[in-house]
Amino acid sequence: MKKSILFIILTLLILTSCEKNDSEVFFKIGKDLEYKFSDIELYDTSTNIMYFKTVHDEFSSIDKNTFTFLDNGDVIYSGTFWPGYASSVPTGPFIYSPPSLFGNYALRIENWSPEKPDVRSDSRIINLLKNHDLLHSGLSISSISIDIIGPQLSLTFTISNNDQSDLLIIDPDKTGLNLFHYFTNGLSIFDSANNEVFSSSIQPQVPDPWNSWNIDWLSKLKSGESKEFNIIYSINSPLNPGEYRISFAFPGLEYQITIDQLLQDNSRIWLGDKRINKKITLP
């Protein structure tokens, strides 16, 4: 009988030690602001946006400061808050200072440094997020192609939902190209000398009012589902055969969405954008 009781106690101790510690500090701003796993709703690795369960008004008063990701008190990596009006960007990870694009319930960690691998994808970060059921994979862009026929340039690409959640995405077929290009600068093409040889001439249409949104602009992309899009641009000058670099950002909504609007009929509105820089060869 004593052996059975001892076995049960040992088993409970083992199970308790294996439980995830949601009270552990994962994210810290400066010296005083600490955020635990239990404060976080999810982290989308496709945009590096960390969503919190509630609005944090303190985010609106951060001008310049540092932030740190922690693993049981050990630093994984650090970065800085950086004013959006600055004419330069810091080396390494940074978060734009207020006004926030995400209503003080989400922070986007940027990194424009060319160094590889990207510290935001550190295996410790990924494992911690996974172990605490916070890891979300968001969207990816693939099958990007360009065809030029006469005065028209056709951009074709596929958006895939790699997330475990169904996502609502801006659909250019629903918004029309003018409104869609309010949320993105569209396609740019650069030659081998990094000269811009093409950029979108589609006139953006500003929403009315400017900070509004409409559910009719969005399409549901179920988990594991993909959708192909095609955008036609006018091109004034032909491009010679050769190697080029294309730049394009597939947009999501941002400041328009409040925390209570994020979920619509069990689907999450995808925020931010997915940027691509890709080399192509034109025949």
**48-54-56-57 Cα dihedral, nearest 10 degrees:** 130
Amino acid 70: pLDDT: 97
Task: Round to whole Å and give the CA distance between 167 and 18.
Answer: 32
Amino acid 90: pLDDT: 84
Amino acid 176: pLDDT: 97
CA–CA–CA angle 83, 86, 89 (5° rounding): 85
Task: Round to whole Å and give the CA distance between 29 and 78.
Answer: 10
Distance of CA 226 to the CA centre of its chain: 17
CA dist list (Å): 255 to 104, 178, 261 = 9, 19, 11
DSSP code for 235: -
Whether the upstream peptide bond of residue 204 has omega within 30° of 0, thus cis, is: no
Complete domains list, the chain, with CATH = 21-131 (no CATH), 139-282 (2.60.40.2360)
Task: Round to whole Å and give the CA distance between 248 and 169.
Answer: 16
pTM of the model: 0.90
Amino acid 98: pLDDT: 78
Task: Round to whole Å and give the CA distance between 124 and 116.
Answer: 16
Amino acid 15: pLDDT: 47
Task: Round to whole Å and give the CA distance between 201 and 126.
Answer: 40
Amino acid 64: pLDDT: 84
Amino acid 4: pLDDT: 57
Residues of the chain with pLDDT under 70: 1-19
Amino acid 5: pLDDT: 56
